[in-house]
Structure formats: C-alpha cells, structure tokens
Amino acid sequence: MLRHWDCPTILDDEEAAMEFSGANQREESIEPDVPRREPHRALAEAVLSNAAEQAEWLADGGTEPKLPDAWSGLWQAAVQRQMDLSGQAEPVASQAVSSTMSQLATLYHEAAWFRTDDDLRRRATNEVLFYGTELRTKLRSQSAQEAWQRRSAYGLSASSSAVRARVTANDDWLAGWQAWAAAQQTS
C-alpha cells in the first residue's frame, strides 16, 4: 500500500485535527517518495507549489515547471484515502480528488488573497479539503463550494448555454470565496 499517516493532518489546526481523528489510520508506506502525512494534505501542498511555479513561469518565462517525481504516489495515496473516508468507488474518489485539487489550483490563480495571505490560504485550503473529503459539508465557504460543483458540472461543453452557465458559476464561485475571505478578515 502507498499509505502512511500518523496523525490527522488534513487540516493544520488543533480543532480540525481532533475532528479528523475519527477517520485516522496508521499504515506503513512501501514507497519512499510518498510523504508520511495525510495524503490529501500532501497532494494539496504539491498542487499549490506547482501552481506557484506555473504562475512564475507564465510571468517570467524560462523552463516549464514539472510535476514532482512523487506525483503518481501522492495521487494514488489521496485517491485511496478518499475511498477509505467516503466509501466511494475508485473512479468517483479519483474525480473527487481531482475536483478538490483543481479548486485549490484555480483559487491560487484567480484569488490574489489566496496567493498573498498565508493564513487565509491555509484556512481556505482546510475548507476545500473538508468539503472534498466529505468530512464536513456545511462550511463557511458553502456558497463557494456549491458554485464550484455547478462550475464543474458543465465540463468543457462548447454550447453557448453551457459556456454562459459555467461563466456564471465561476463568477459565483469567486464571489463566494471573496465574501468568505472578507468575513475571515473581519472576524
């Protein structure tokens, strides 16, 4: 198995870690490149690192960034963990992980506060991971999470109605996250 995690670190704060502990597992990894922590968190960190490298590359040029060598192991471990947490079949779990990681990467590219405010990025990442793993479905970012689901449902259809619906859902998604960020800064 490609898994090993000793503590409930899908989230970085103590309250979330305690809540997550009911889903905690301990298994040894036989693959040295797979980090010894919660797979969703490890994959999210790799996704955000890659998003930062992509943004820098797009701005400055140079060599196109590559995915980390451990990408396949990270992905497989997160999908397996998704299956364990949710009881989803592998294709559904893979899609859930894909959607979760896509939302994080898109937040990085589209929301300036996500790139510049470490605390808000950490908290938003926690919200996305909680929602994506189905450990919590009622969150402060609920409107953004639901808009992301609507946005994703339209896929890449080229029909004009699907494109309009996707643009509207994307606007709702970003507005939801902007409202969430503003509320976090005032609380």
Helix%, strand%, coil% for the chain, nearest 5: 70, 0, 30
Per-residue confidence band for 19, with pLDDT thresholds at 50, 70 and 90: very low
The tens digit of pLDDT for each residue in 43-97 reads 999 999 999 999 888 888 878 888 888 899 999 999 999 999 999 999 999 999 9
Predicted pLDDT of residue 175: 97
pLDDT band for position 170 (cuts 50, 70, 90) = very high
Residue 27 pLDDT > 50, yes or no?
A: no
Q: Which of 179, 123, 186, 110 is nearest to 146 (CA)?
A: 179
